[in-house]
Amino acid sequence: MDPSHQQIYLDYNATSPLSLAVADRLPELASRFFANPSSPHPLGRGTRKMIEQATTDLSRFLHVAPNQIIYTSGATESIQTVISSFLSPDTPSRSIALPRTEHPAVLSAARMFEPGGAVLHWIKVGPDGLVELDHLKELLRQRPDLVSFCAANNETGVLAPVQQICTLCHDAGVPVHVDATQWVGRLPWPQMPDGNGPDFVSFSGHKFGALKGCGALIVSPRMTLNPLIPGGGQQYGARGGTLNTTGIVSMGLVAASLIENPYPADTVRNVRDTMEDQLLEKIPEAVIHARTAPRLPNTSSVAIPGRDAEEMVHQLARQGISISTGSACSTGKLSPSHVLLAMGVPTDLIRSTIRISLGPLSSSMEVDCLLKAL
Ligand code: PLP
């Protein structure tokens, strides 16, 4: 590839570039706030203050109390912490209800406890990728120990009715974990009435402009967890290990900047919808998965029948355009997307499906280049 060729990045669901709110402060953060935040000396106190400010900003951003936030290395660890806490062999009864459309971070965390006797109940999803609420109600009668679902699907962008699912689960006395990794930073996290929100929420910093290797788990005050990493008892004993100061502060800086200047959801949706209209005009046989379902404003999962998705991704990459075949984690694997399979999409159409995920600054010009190249 010609390095002077301008790059067009349309793979924001895999990761997003560093927010300017972080990039501008990074050298200072790395050089001035290096001390261990648990240390009692002035340098340690300085670092601790930065973390406290980040926690305040994140708690305002997500409408939770500061002491509900547990910092982790990212969504994968947050998810693993919750699921292990409910399904590990030392817990008395072990069952979880979840849709098959979950991210592999959730699926593999749940499946690893199956050989030890944990029971997985699969919640049906419709052809639009939405959880079938009647089936969830049926499963809730079996009183699973936990329900876990994704707020916004990473491949299709389909949004779950978070509040409605939480209410159904709580009415049945079942705690809920929400994987909000693709939602946080793109849509406002809903302010839910006391006791009605999710019991656990997982997310990663790098999906919304913070550094990689940091994330958080929000735990409701009525819940306790077995730590996955007890370590030195940091973070109320919920997660050991020296805090990742730069990562945590980067999440706080992005949260503060998004409180001031919210993610431009309407603009991004406009660019995405226009792109989909134009694509269907040019290629009428193209299929946009879950187009009628509520979706993230930035995500488009598009099948172009007769074309091979991997080949399209590589050809576009040669022209400086970065998109994906689906979840970043499954790229490179030849198995068809489990998300689209669960929605009943035929395998040949899945193999022709690419994922285009826009960012706040993605322009119509960039999208035009993509359409021309396609
Ligand atoms: N959940 C969802 C919906 C995701 O999209 C991802 C990453 O793509 C994850 C969880 C895992 O996030 P991370 O790799 O940052 O831990």
Quote the ligand 1 centre to 309 CA distance (angstroms): 21
Residue nearest to atom 5 of ligand 1 (CA): 154
CB neighbours (10 Å) of residue 303?
22
Query: 304-323: per-residue pLDDT in tens?
Result: 999 999 999 999 999 999 99
Residue nearest to atom 12 of ligand 1 (CA): 75
* C-alpha 105 – ligand 1 centre gap (Å): 7
**In this predicted structure, what is the pLDDT of residue 2?**
44
Q: Kindly give the number of the ligand 1 atom that is closest to the alpha carbon of 179.
A: 1
Lowest-confidence pick of 82-96, 116-130, 202-216, 324-338: 324-338
103 CA to middle of ligand 1, Å?
7
Helix axes 364-373, 309-318, angle to 10 degrees: 120
Contacts of 343 by beta carbon, 8 Å cutoff, 6+ apart = 101, 125, 126, 127, 128, 129, 156, 289, 290
Nearest ligand 1 atom to the CA of 150 is 3
Rounded to whole angstroms, how far apart are CA atoms 365 and 31? Answer: 39
Q: For residue range 206-245, what is the model confidence (pLDDT) as tens digits?
A: 999 999 999 999 999 989 899 999 999 899 899 999 999 9
pLDDT over threshold 70, residue 3: no
| Residue pLDDT, tens place only, 108-152 | 999 999 999 999 999 999 999 999 999 999 999 999 999 999 999
User: Is 169 an active-site residue?
Assistant: no
pLDDT greater than 80 at residue 31: yes
Q: Which two tokens stand for residue 196?
A: 């009605």
CA 46 – ligand 1 centroid, Å: 31
**Total-model pTM:** 0.96
DSSP string of 125-179, one letter each residue = B-TTS-B-HHHHHHHHTT--SEEEEESB-TTT-BBP-HHHHHHHHHHTT--EEEE
For the Cβ of 75 lying below 6 angstroms from any atom of ligand 1, the answer is yes
| Residue 158 CB–ligand 1 contact under 6 Å | no
- pLDDT, mean over the chain: 94
CA 304, CA 282: separation in Å to the nearest integer? 11
Q: In testing the pocket of ligand 1, which one of 103, 150, 228, 357 has its CB within 8 Å of the most ligand atoms? A: 103
